[in-house]
Every structure is written in C-alpha cells, then in structure tokens.
Structure 1
C-alpha cells in the first residue's frame, strides 16, 4: 500500500511545474507514494505543516524571515528549491520599440504588491539601474485584478507570473518584454517547506528523490512534453498559454541546478529583502534551511 502525503501551495502557477510534475508523473509512484494537492493561504499552509495535516508546502525562505521578524520561530525548514530565479514577467503595451527597463520611468506599472513579488520587482529594477521611485507602482490587487485592469487599458506595464503574462500576449493586449528572473539573476524565490519531524523520516527522503527527478525533468524535457503532463492541473488555461509559460521558464533557467537551496541564491534574496527594509536583522541560512533529506 502506498504512503500518502498532502502537498499544499500558496500560489497556483506554471512557475511551480516541478510540484505538478512530481504528482502527475510516475515520480512519486515509483517511490510508493501518492499525493493530494491543494491551494491554501500561507497561514493555513503553515498551520497544516505544524499540525501534521500537510507534509510539504510550497513556500519561500522569505516566509520564514517574515515570521522571525514577528518573533515567530517554528520547527519548520525549507529543504528543496523550486525556483532559483524570480518567476514574474513584465508585459508592455505593443509599441514596436525594443524594450529597456528605463522605459518604466514615468510610466504606470500594475505591480503585484504581495510581499515577495513586490520585493522581487524592485530588486530586478535596481539590478537594471532603474530607481523604482521613478515608476508609478499601481496596486490594483492580485493576478486576477491585474489581468482585468490591463485588459481595460489601465497602465503601460503589468507584472505577472506565467501563464497569466503569456495569456495577455496571446490575447493581443501586449507582449512579454522582460523576465524579472533574467534581469535580477539568482534569487531563492520559492522552495519546499516541511516540519523537522517529517524531514527525519524515510518518507521525506523518498519524496525528495522523486521531486529531484521531476524538477530535472521539467527543466530539460521539451516544453510540449511538460505541458502535456501538467495540462490537467490548469483546466482554466489554454494550451498555447501554458506551453508559452513553460517555454519561458525553461529559457529563464528557473528549474536548473541542484534541489539544494544554495548560498548564492539565499544570500541574494536576503540582501534584496534587507534593502527593501523587510529584514531588520540577519537570518542565518542554517536557521531556516535544511539540506535535502537523503
């Protein structure tokens, strides 16, 4: 009889294709594991990890920094990377001009003001020599509101994950002009999180083996194959949009490399959050990250 684990995600996007692939493919089954997947608010995911109803959650090391900034220290650790680069794209109105980040100066950009997306956007802009104070950073809400507002003609630029960004392009509302991940470089953007108790089990080691294979698979296999495998996870998204998003993330290289959360990615993200004023003290990696169980 297979062992069951519950996997929770705080966001549902093609950016997290390694999670969708490990569930949809044979990776977990080969390790004698079945998984149930759900999307839930961050606080609910954390609560599930703590009470044992969730074994693995999609998260980010910055979530632990925010908790620690509030004086909350949980027996949870980030143990595998999902994405080593920012997963947001910049969509611009079609004006036929080659894109440069400097074009955002004096423009209105519909930017996701969620904790990490916003810090990531500001970090990418600074990496490209742009003072974010020159941009009208309009907060209209999350992905759904940004999509609706941009379609209505509000703003010159939109800041979105895939496949939402690619959806706007295919609909003819604009074109994807930049990747924040390419513009800012390595960044510990999203990771898998679990309790220290779970990470000490054989089940965690078996899950990690399956996940590492799935992540490498989505990074290297043709985008058409990846899209076909995860197709049913995104019934609300057209095939062309999903395929374009997978291709874009493969081009950015967000899923390449070891599943271990490396020092360079961690330090880059920590520096960005510190510069943004979100980290007021140092958060040593060993206090929030554990090596992948083996």
Structure 2
C-alpha cells in the first residue's frame, strides 16, 4: 500500500469556466498530492468514477442524474457547486454596436449539449419576455430560432470558421478566441440580469470518497480556490492555472476568466443548495424539457467541509477493535444481525471474486452457514488520518445447510482488503469498502504445503 495520495479531476471540456476545480488541483499539487487532469465524454462519466471510486471527481451537471438510469448513478452524488449561472457566450460573425436578443430571430445558432441548449432556450425566452416579446425558442428551425446541434465544441468551431451559422454558442476561452481571430465578430454572455441563478455545473464523486482525508483535503483546497477566483485578478488566476492551458494565449485566457468574474459565475459558497437545485428544475420545465424528477437528496450530497467536519485521527487500537467486533458479530449473525449492521456504511457492497453484492443481500446469503467461527491470522493496518486501509487473512470454519452433508465442517482461508472511515454522525468507525481478494480451501492449502 503506497503512502502518497492521488486524485483524478475530470472535465467534459477544457474550459476556464471550471477554474475553481482546476485551481483546487493545483493547490493539492502544492501539498504533495498527485493530481491527474483529464477529459471525459458524457457517456463515460459515471463509469470513470466507478473505475476509481475512492479518488475520482468529475465536473458535470445535476441534470445529468435526471437523464441517467438508476444503476449508472448508484452511489454517486454531486457535492460541490462550480458555477451558479450559465457560462456560455454567443459569438456573432457580423459587427454589432449593441446586441439585442431579437437579433437571433431567423438566425442559425450552432449549439451542443442538452443542458447548454436548455439554458440558451431559457435565456432567449426570458430576455425577449423582458423586452415585451412573447415567443418560444424551438429546435431545428421549426419556428423562428434555428438551433443547429453539433456533437462537440470542435464541430461548432470548425463550422463557424468555415462560414456556417450566424452565431456560435460556446464557452470561454473559445468565444474569446473566435473574436480575437476576427475583430468584426462580437460576443455576448448568455447569462445576464435579470436571469436567476441555478446549479449549472458541479462536481460529483462516489460515496467512497466522502468523509475521508482525501475528500477533506480536496474540499479545503476547493474552498480556497473559490475564494481566490473571486478576490484576485484574472491575471493572478492565470498565473496559477495557465500551465494547464498551454495552447491558449495568456491574454485570451485572462480575458475569459475576467468575463466569468464579471458575470459572477463563482460567487457562491461551494454548496449546492436546495434552492439552486430546484431552480434548475424550474428552468427545464420552463422550456418544456422532459426529465426524471429526482429528489434533491437523491442527487446532492449535503456533507461539505468546514471546521465542524474535521474527524479525529483513526488509531490502530480502534481498528483492531472494529475487526474483532466484526468477526465476533459475524459468528453470532444468525441470532443478532443488528450488531453487524452497525459497523458498516449504508452504501457498503461486499465484493468477492465472483460478484459484488449490496450488504443486505450478502447478509441474507450467509444465513445458510451454521455455527461459523472466524480467526484472524494476519492483519496489516495503514492509517491516513481519518481513513484506514487494512489487509487481513482470516480462517473461516462453518457447516453449510444447503450442502449434501449439512453437518460437515469445512474451513477456508480468506484474504480481504477493507477501507475504514470515521462516521460524520456519531464519530464511530465504519467499514466503507470490503473486498474478498481470494478464498482457499484449507484442505487444498494443506495439500500444497505438504502438511
């Protein structure tokens, strides 16, 4: 087991719109934590988290949960706000002294992404309503607004540079880049007063990240990053994250960040409030979008980092006591299941070489074994403040009520790997991950050793 911590921070697009998350990673690097940045497609987001449950953070939108199936999002929650308003710009190809939203009528707008398109439809509707014009934005030119949907920002940029479309709907830094390439072009931020704020983009991760020291380190860095981007100049932000945007001219990057600061994308406390969440739903409903109406608690993890959530360091005697209690209660499980349940997290799955079972399902499956005994033969403990990683070998003896000879006693040696965390609620230790690496029949083991 290695000592150095690492975290992956993934983005759908490489935009300074996500500056707080980029900067949080840079701050973690300064604290000797390995940080890997990468891009991820919308269809890969959940799987990339599941591939590395304990150390992966993905920038997404709460609306992604509304469009996904239950299995995809199981155990994954949004936990920190990145942007509380739209971060897209409209780039027009013809000179414009003063932009008016009615200028979009009968014009082709190059767009990409379900939530960005929804947000644009909402903005058009609200801006025109504010000017006294009542109309509904529509897709594919069926009415007066022509949305030409593309598969990616690269397609939008290519088409716009090749003369297609009247407006490009893109984030910074691409919007600023397009204007820099042709001074006749202009850009206009989509989000403006009097539009309401909502949860436009946020960070999501697996339950297995929450509560541990890495999560606490990340949230501390993230809160510092939020304060930095809101109080320092755009140039100072570029000094911190510019190395991550080596293909972007520093002045274009600075201009993009400055415009995001002016709009106020990052002016919030980092929490995804219920108000912001519900307002996002209102926007989808306002433009007639279908979506799965999930409760706030099913999407957002309300736990966040502040001085009250700092857990005490886990000690080896505590871990040994938990291991002892676990196997004692496992021996008595058929008569007292409650004690076993009190030692695990709600989301625990028992992983074996054959399958991964929800804890309750696994508990039901072991009732077939009679008079079990467990004897821990080896225990290795590694503590990272309020997270403990352990490896152990246990001798397990039992009879099987479903076997051909239900009274026959059989013994096995099981190698297991656990992660233990301290509960935020009662500060007691809980088993957060439980993996059976392999199981060897004692008879086979004796045969191999010649004993």
Q: Give me the TM-score of the superposition, normalised by structure 2.
A: 0.60
Q: Does 278-287 or 99-108 show the bigger shift?
A: 278-287
How far apart in 1 are the matches of 2:56 and 2:150? 34
Aligned to 1:90: 90
How far apart in 2 are the matches of 1:190 and 1:242? 20
CA deviation after TM superposition for structure 1 residue 145, in Å: 1.7
Distance 1:270 1:90, change over 3 A: same
Question: Which structure shows the higher helix fraction?
Answer: 1
Contact 1:93 1:173 in 2 (8 A): no
Q: Report whether the alignment pairs 1:227 with 2:252.
A: no
Among 253, 256, 260, which residue is 1:249 paired with? 260
Among 19, 22, 39, which residue is 1:20 paired with? 22
Q: Does 181-190 or 253-262 show the bigger shift?
A: 181-190
Distance 1:213 1:192, change over 3 A: same
Q: Does 148-157 or 97-106 show the bigger shift?
A: 148-157
How far apart in 1 are the matches of 2:243 and 2:23? 11
Q: Report whether the alignment pairs 1:132 with 2:137.
A: yes
Aligned to 2:62: 61
Q: Report whether the alignment pairs 1:215 with 2:226.
A: yes
Q: Give me the TM-score of the superposition, normalised by structure 1.
A: 0.90
Q: Report whether the alignment pairs 1:178 with 2:188.
A: yes
How far apart in 1 are the matches of 2:156 and 2:291? 30
Distance 1:174 1:58, change over 3 A: farther
Aligned to 2:114: 115
Which 5+ residue runs of structure 1 have no aligned equivalent?
none
Aligned to 2:247: 236
- Helix, strand or coil: the match of 2:191? helix
- Helix, strand or coil: the match of 2:86? coil
How far apart in 2 are the matches of 1:214 and 1:208? 9
Contact 2:15 2:171 in 1 (8 A): yes
Question: Which structure shows the higher strand fraction?
Answer: 2
Contact 2:67 2:292 in 1 (8 A): no
Q: Report whether the alignment pairs 1:262 with 2:267.
A: no
Which 5+ residue runs of structure 2 have no aligned equivalent?
129-134, 139-143, 310-451
Contact 1:22 1:210 in 2 (8 A): yes
CA deviation after TM superposition for structure 1 residue 144, in Å: 1.3
Aligned to 1:5: 7
How far apart in 2 are the matches of 1:110 and 1:230? 29
RMSD between superposed Cα atoms in Å: 2.1
Aligned to 2:386: none
Larger RCO (alpha carbons 8 Å, 6+ apart): 1
How far apart in 2 are the matches of 1:41 and 1:141? 11
How far apart in 2 are the matches of 1:253 and 1:138? 28
Total equivalences in the alignment: 290
Q: Does 280-289 or 224-233 show the bigger shift?
A: 280-289
Contact 1:91 1:174 in 2 (8 A): no
How far apart in 1 are the matches of 2:185 and 2:259? 13
How far apart in 2 are the matches of 1:173 and 1:106? 24
Q: Does 161-170 or 146-155 show the bigger shift?
A: 146-155
- Helix, strand or coil: the match of 1:19? helix
How far apart in 2 are the matches of 1:194 and 1:141? 25
